[in-house]
Structure 1
Amino acid sequence: MKNLYLDCISGIAGDMTLAALIDLGADLGYILEHLRKLPIDPFELEVEPVEKRGIAAKKLLIEFPAQERQQPSPTYLFKMASHDDHQHRKAEDILQMISDSLLPERVKQRSMAIFQVIAEAEGKIHGVDPKEVHFHEVGAMDSILDTIGFCLALENLEVDEIYASPVPTGQGKMKMAHGLYPIPAPATLELLKGIPLADLQVQGELTTPTGAGILKALVKDFGPIGAVKIERIGYGAGHKDFAHPNVLRAVLIQKERDREREKIIVLETQVDDMTGEALGYVMERLFEAGALDVYYTPVYMKKNRPGTLMTVLVQPDEAGRCEEVLLIQTSTLGVRRSEWTRTILDRRIVSVETPYGKIRVKQAIRGGQVLHQAPEFEDVAQLARQCELPFQEIYQEALNLASQRAVK
């Protein structure tokens, strides 16, 4: 499994991430081939070698020959529509363009995830529906190329998971479309909720909405690089010059075995005065809040009263939401929280074509080997009803076909 570590030593921006991955070894020809198939304005994209305070890096250059190039604030990519809507692109239209494109499926998913979180952040700041958020035309083109180009570079490098360091944002104020705003920009700060920040005292913007969107949508975990095997390193340069190297460092890594352990939060509380129906409702709300697993254990409490121990497994970022559900939706007076680690297997869904119809099969994988697998219950049950055949007969047929594919 190939993984990427983004070392945000000077913040992060869309152009820096794409340039860093090209410096890392992503094929620019592959990226351009796919970008030129999109229904967007003609563009020229290239990278040039630069030096930033003694560090050799790549800098991204984008030009649009068909339009007069202006310099909108790179920190304020989205804004509300005005009377000249023909100069704007709706976030909804950009998402639809990506969905309808011939881009690789994982590139679509990653690109849409980034645009979606940025649209949601901008929509919240401006008080509008995320679908109605508009891109300024030139800023939209830059962001489309940076974002989709970055996701294409990930695909070209066969990157599966992304990790990142804490990120500095810069400080001060800057002029934007609606006036003088603090740094980080409001939408950037909204996107950075839950992401650890680094302290770097620099006047100016270091992290842009697109950069923050990449972190929010795609990064699995934040922290030091940890125990890994480093394969390659690339540097992407920003356009500004500071007293420090204005670069983003991208590191292609291979996880060591102990890094396969995933950090999770375990929440626990126990109650003795709730009905089974109420507990079932709470479980539904916990899963809606992001719980990985929820289970109830019969226990004896004070005065020998039978009660229920409620246990919730959840990712650190979602722990607060699940804790709130327990405090509001149950009769508990407090919730215990502990940090655990767990070893998990890689998972994937494959589809097999049986004589009865298509069935999805969930597979658990380690080191490229399928350790165990199981057909999806709903798929099997639906076909069993339609064909009026025993459930187990269809289940076993799907399992046999999946096993034959795994051996090949």
Structure 2
Amino acid sequence: MKTLFLDCTFGIAGDRALAALIDLGADISYIVDQLRKLPIEPFGIEVHNITNQGIAAKKISIFYQSEKNQHQSTHEISKIIAENELPVKTKERSLAIFHEFANAKGKLNGIDSNEVYFEIASIIEIIGFCLALESLKIEEIFASPVPAGFGHKMTAHGLYPIPSPVTLELLKGIPLAELNVQRELTTPTGAAILRSLVKKFIPIGGHVVDKIGYGAGETDFDHPNVLRALFISPIKQDPNQERESIYILEAQLDDMTGEGLGFAMERLLAEGALDVFYTPVYMKKNRPGTLVTVLVSLNLADRCEQILLEETTTLGVRRSMWSRNILDRRFIEVETPYGHIKVKQACKRNKILHQAPEYEDVARAAREHKVPFQTVYQYAMKLAMNEQMGD
């Protein structure tokens, strides 16, 4: 299964998105051949190799043989997609994008979404992008937070704010990134792609980048006006190595009760955190506080981070990736005069480096037999050592 990551550091637009996938390896001939089966205005797509602020990228130009019939309604587009022989996944993805786009525009214009009209260029960019996904056999799409830009732009309807009302409507619920640029960075088409197709907005950490494509836009900025499209795959652990990658989540608190901290720890451990611990620290104005540290696997980091935000008074959570060298763990059970006691053994390449009786088993046996904890502990440890020597 191929996974696409859209790096929207400088925003996203339909032409940049399609160009980036072409640079990533999508077959432009396949895309154009499929598009020309549709009953839309005759068109052409040119792909240019350019350099944008020092980055080699692909750039597309869409042109028409006629200036007539340059718009089609959502109803017409839906009918065209449904009745023509496009790949099933392309149909589903294209309809999803047009549906979100038309709903946003219809809501703002006070009209039925089926009466919203799209320019032919937008139709080609959207369906072309979905055909490019098909060409690359992409199953999942992730993306970074996206900057929208700020300021104003002149449109056919007058002076509008940036992001445009349609773009902002489509970006509801999507994490926005900061980029101090007084221009439009994300277009309605780009926002519709993100809203419709992106499974999750995440940092790139925890993945391996396998391939990169760059798609350039029309406008010149002081920064590269490009969208990066990446093939990514999860970091795979070598079974012959003891090291693994984990996330460390941290937050400092100075206004929370011990009961609240205890409950937060319970939730984090129940969710699957590898470890949770508290460290006394001094914070601003010499206030005594608590540093919360959570060790968590890569796939559970987002969930544990959300728990920290929900269950503690922190205003933010720091995240960093660490690697750790871990020993294999296994359990044996020894028979003592006080009952069965489990013993945890830590091994490396089948050699036992450490072992210790399990606390709960020892404590239960000590209570039941009314003997000191250390008596049970040492007896179980001796039996485990004897068994090890026997091995």
Please state which band the TM-score falls in when normalised by the shorter chain. 0.5 to 0.7
Q: Is 1:238 equivalent to 2:217 in the alignment?
A: yes
> Structure 2: how far apart are the matches of 1:122 and 1:30?
31
User: Contact between 1:3 and 1:255, CA under 8 Å: does it hold in 2?
Assistant: no
How far off its partner does 1:179 sit?
1.1
- 1:115 aligned to which of 87, 95, 98: 98
C-alpha contact 1:24 1:234 (8 A) present in aligned 2: yes
- The match for 1:95 is 78
Residue 256 (1) aligns with residue 239 (2):
no
Instruction: Verify: 1:227 aligned to 2:206, yes or no.
Output: yes
The aligned residue for residue 202 of structure 1 is 181
Q: What's the Cα RMSD here? A: 2.1
Number of the residue aligned with 1:186: 165
C-alpha displacement of 1:107: 0.2
Relative to structure 1, the CA distance from residue 170 to residue 31 in structure 2 (aligned partners, 3 Å threshold; closer, same or farther) is same
What is the aligned partner in structure 1 of residue 336 from structure 2?
none
CA deviation after TM superposition for structure 1 residue 229, in Å: 2.0
The SS at the match of 2:199 is strand
Partner of 2:147: 168
Q: Which residue of 2 aligns with 1:49?
A: 49
Task: Could you tell me which runs of 5 or more consecutive residues in structure 2 were left unpaired when the two chains were aligned.
Answer: 238-301, 303-308, 313-391
Matched residue, 1:6: 6
Aligned to 1:29: 29
In 1, Cα distance between equivalents of 2:86 and 2:71? 23
Verify: 1:130 aligned to 2:113, yes or no: yes
**Whole-angstrom distance in 1 between the partners of 2:70 and 2:128:** 23
Q: Which runs of 5+ in 1 are unaligned?
A: 69-85, 259-315, 317-335, 340-408
Q: Structure 1 residues 256, 204: closer, same or farther in 2, change over 3 A? A: same
Which amino acid counterpart does residue 90 of structure 1 have in structure 2?
Answer: S
In structure 2, the residue matched to 1:383 is none
Q: 2:72·2:120 contact (CA, 8 Å) conserved in 1?
A: no
8 Å contact from structure 2 (residues 213, 228) kept in 1: yes
Name the counterpart of 1:104: 87
Shift of residue 338, structure 1, vs aligned partner: 7.1
Deviations 1:163-196 (A, max 9, x none): 0011011111111122110000000000000001
Match of 1:142 among 117, 121, 143: 121
CA distance in 2, matches of 1:95, 1:257: 41
- Identity, in percent, stands at 57
Q: Which residue of 1 is the match for residue 365 of structure 2? A: none
Which of 210, 213, 217 lines up with 2:192 in the alignment? 213
The aligned amino acid for 1:24 is L
Structure number with greater Rg is 2
Give 1:255 deviation, angstroms.
2.6
Partner of 1:284: none
In structure 1, what is the Cα distance between the partners aligned to 2:53 and 2:169?
31
**The residue matched to 2:120 in structure 1 has which SS?**
helix
Residue 205 of structure 1 aligns to a residue whose secondary structure is coil
Task: Report the alpha carbon displacement of residue 87 of structure 1 after superposing the two structures with TM.
Answer: 6.0
Counterpart secondary structure, 1:204? coil
Distance in 2 (alpha carbons) for counterparts of 1:257 and 1:122: 43
Displacement of 1:88 in angstroms is: 3.7
CA distance in 2, matches of 1:337, 1:158: 38
